[in-house]
Amino acid sequence: MTILITGATGNIGRQVVQQLVNRGADVRALVRDPAKANLPAGVNVVQGDLLDVDSLRAAFEGVSTLFLLNAVVPDEFTQALISLNLAREAGIDRIVYLSVIHSDKYLNVPHFAGKFGVERMLEQMGFGATILRPAYFMDNERTIKDVVTGYGVYPMPIGSKGLAMIDARDIGEIAAIELLRRERASGPLPLERINLVGPDTLTGESIAAIWSTVLNRPVTYGGDDTAGFEKNLRNFMPGWMAYDMRLMSERFLTEGMVPEAGDVERLTQLLGRPLRSYRDFAAEISAPA
């Protein structure tokens, strides 16, 4: 049977597709522009959009398991609900959904609240689903690498509670493992939530110290200025999104993104190897080309 991946050309989606291909799965990828998809050989690329009902109906035909990933957009919640209803209509009852850690706590943050709403719909519609709840992606740090390396400042206002940042490659591999576990089961499995976290819970000061070690020169933490963070983000994203990110960063300061007991051990066992560390990630992205 076929596993359908939404968001297949994004940072996480590409990782999931590649991991499934590596494992010999029958993969279908939903993309807006097949000509630009550039996905691995053997992947069945179909054109579609999560708000285009006709294209979704066509993409879902013959699919047994769905990986549902919604980008942070104003109509994210609507996209997800349309997708779930059409999946139900198509007889798909095995789903892996990419949510976010603490979606039930950061409820004033728009994209967190939306993802929690999708989680509730998965429960109420009775889907057999794995809800993956990742912490902040290490890969987002690529956007601030030049500030760190050029100015010696780590600018993200993440505070002192700690974020258990996770590498996108680990997310992709765990998602593929869960998709195949559900795909290959003799029947639908119970709904389950898995926190996706990195091996270390990092503060602004500890990340600055990591960068100081990696670059072999001082890097300081820029502090907890969430208003300044929003202002900077507005230079390259819409105002609504910058404000959403500001609200998220304010919850970083008050609550952090801290793993629950046993999360790291569970993921390590699932992967059969250690989780990738922030230090290794920083060294990798700062290495000369």
pLDDT tens for each residue of 99-156: 999 999 999 999 999 999 999 999 999 998 999 999 999 999 999 999 999 999 999 9
H/E run at residue 49 = none
Q: What is the model's pLDDT at position 19?
A: 98
Q: What is the model's pLDDT at position 44?
A: 97
| CATH homologous superfamily for the domain 2-135+167-196 | NAD(P)-binding Rossmann-like Domain (3.40.50.720)
Q: What is the model's pLDDT at position 196?
A: 98
Tell me phi and psi for residue 65, to 5 degrees.
-140, 140
Distance of CA 139 to the CA centre of its chain: 10
* Complete edge-to-edge strand list for the sheet that includes strand 27-31: 44-47, 27-31, 2-5, 63-68, 94-98, 128-134, 192-196
Q: What is the model's pLDDT at position 187?
A: 86
Q: Give residue-wise pLDDT tens across range 200-244.
A: 999 999 999 999 999 999 999 999 999 999 999 999 999 999 999
Q: Give residue-wise pLDDT tens across range 244-268.
A: 999 999 999 999 999 999 999 999 9
Residue located via tokens 């996209």: 79
Q: How confident is the model at residue 188 (pLDDT cuts 50, 70, 90)?
A: confident
Q: How far is CA 49 from CA 82, 99, 221, 236, in A?
A: 11, 19, 40, 24
Q: Give residue-wise pLDDT tens across range 273-288.
A: 999 999 999 999 999 8
Q: Which two tokens stand for residue 100?
A: 């976010």
Nearest residue to 200 (alpha-carbon basis) of 282, 143, 132, 131: 282
What mean pLDDT comes out for the span 80-92? 97
Residues 6+ apart with CB under 8 A from 37: 8, 9, 29, 31, 45
Residue 80 has pLDDT above 90, yes or no: yes
Q: How confident is the model at residue 289 (pLDDT cuts 50, 70, 90)?
A: confident
What mean pLDDT comes out for the span 155-165? 97
Q: Give residue-wise pLDDT tens across range 24-61.
A: 999 999 999 999 999 999 999 999 999 999 999 999 99
Instruction: Estimate the crossing angle of helix 76-89 against helix 53-60, to 10 degrees.
Output: 50
